Amino acid sequence: MLKSSYLQRIYDQTLARDPDQPEFHQAVMEFLESIDLVIDQHPQYEQCGLLERFVEPERVISFRVPWVDDQGKVQVNRGYRVQFNSAIGPYKGGLRFHPTVNLSILKFLGFEQILKNSLTGLPMGGAKGGSDFDPKGKSDAEVMRFCQSFMTELSRHIGQFVDVPAGDINVGAREIGYLYGQYRRMRNSVDAGVLTGKGLSFGGSLVRTEATGYGLCYLTQEMLKCMKGDSFEGKTVAISGSGNVAIFACQKAMELGGKVVAMSDSTGYIHDPDGIKLDVVKSIKLERRGRIQEYADQVPGSSYTKGFQGIWTIPCDIALPCATQNEIDGKIARIIIANGTIAVAEGANMPCRPEAIEAFIQAGVLFAPAKAANAGGVATSGLEMCQNSARYSWSFEEVDQKLKDIMINIFHNAYDTSVRYGVPGNLLVGANLAAFDKVADAMMAQGII
């Protein structure tokens, strides 16, 4: 129960309006619990209905996506774009292609994106989109036809000064290329800044592929240094997932001196006590799009176990959940704590349930929430937009340094805010308040729109 009757009313209205959207409810409640600490200091928010506007998307676009499979049969999927808040800049957020995509998940992701983008310090609003289309098992030609159909409708609603999508789960370089090609065809214009995550030959940025995983480790390293006088050096690390975020978090964690001993996918997890051989994982996942189980067949001394959540039974010093939302509940959190983990940083969006976060904070485990810890991807997307606007490309080292600086600044912004509001070290509250302050100021300054 929230202390503020105003915030409780906001949450009750959210439940009543969208009773079938549990992921969105969870994200809103987590945010409102942070705001509850300070809402009494801002009576003007209630007077102008600011929170009512903040939890309601500015625009929700839903459309059908017909496409033809390789057998000549017409298939139909649903496409979405949730344009949540543009107070500080054009809408910005990824596209996700996955069978589980629905409005609840996209609204939760778009809501989180508002705060995440605010934390980067770059002028970007929050949005999210995607489709219940599953690229797995589809030919390149089928994926291309789907992307072309999807973009035919989406192109009406985006633009480099309006809404700039990027990739997310199952939307990588191949999909972004097809989407951008169709956008260019539809608009008869080379607006490179309309999509990020593009190939390097047509306006993409170096480090974009690595950015979320690298950024996760940069923030975690700063958190360890400033809050515990420690680092990755000599630590064992467990990373759930084996997509781009997990793979490049693994790479950077090892570069920083850690030993990654476990990774997973949706079928199960691998454990390699000698340290994950990243070249093998990259070959399986990035080249062949295979299953993580193949790792155990190729690397002596490693093992594979069915059931992806079991990865958290493996003792580690640092846990980096990079798979999907709500993978760690209270029971799993207690296992992680009992195994002596000193830090948990979220690489995926909302991988820890509220009871898990509470358990970590109560146990003194350092906890970095996704809106801060995995902001590296969108931060580098923002840097890609800068390069597109300037018709210029920075070197890998330049982009990497800018990314590192942004992630370090995000940590200190969240930490300093937590201290200012009397909850020192609670980065969840600090990140929410720091991000919201900026967006709220912009919304107040622009009037009731």
Question: Cα–Cα distance between 345 and 348 in angstroms, integer?
Answer: 9
Find the helix or strand (DSSP H, E) in which 248 lies.
helix 244-255
Question: Cα–Cα distance between 341 and 352 in angstroms, integer?
Answer: 15
Fill in the DSSP letter of residue 328: B
Question: Cα–Cα distance between 151 and 179 in angstroms, integer?
Answer: 6
Question: Cα–Cα distance between 287 and 209 in angstroms, integer?
Answer: 14
Could you give the count of Cα atoms lying within 13 Å of 409 in the half-sphere of its Cβ?
16
Fill in the DSSP letter of residue 200: G
Question: Cα–Cα distance between 263 and 237 in angstroms, integer?
Answer: 9
Active site residue 128: yes
Q: Please answer whether residues 232 and 217 qualify as being in contact, where contact means their C-beta atoms are separated by less than 8 angstroms.
A: yes
Task: Please name the residue that has the structure tokens 């079991």.
Answer: 310
Q: How many CB atoms lie under 10 A from the CB of residue 410?
A: 29
Any residues with CB less than 8 A from the CB of 128 and at least 6 apart, and which? 81, 82, 84, 93, 94, 95, 96, 106, 107, 109, 110, 113, 168
Question: Cα–Cα distance between 388 and 194 in angstroms, integer?
Answer: 9
For residue 23, give both structure tokens. Answer: 């992921």
Question: Cα–Cα distance between 292 and 271 in angstroms, integer?
Answer: 11
Give the DSSP per-residue string, 333-399: HHHHHHTT--EEE--SSS-B-HHHHHHHHHHT-EEE-HHHHTTHHHHHHHHHHHHHHHT----HHHH
Query: In terms of DSSP H, where are the helices of 3-63?
Result: 5-17, 22-35, 43-47, 50-54
Find the helix or strand (DSSP H, E) in which 175 lies.
helix 173-187
Which of 128, 198, 285, 404 is an active site residue? 128
Q: Which residues are catalytic?
A: 128
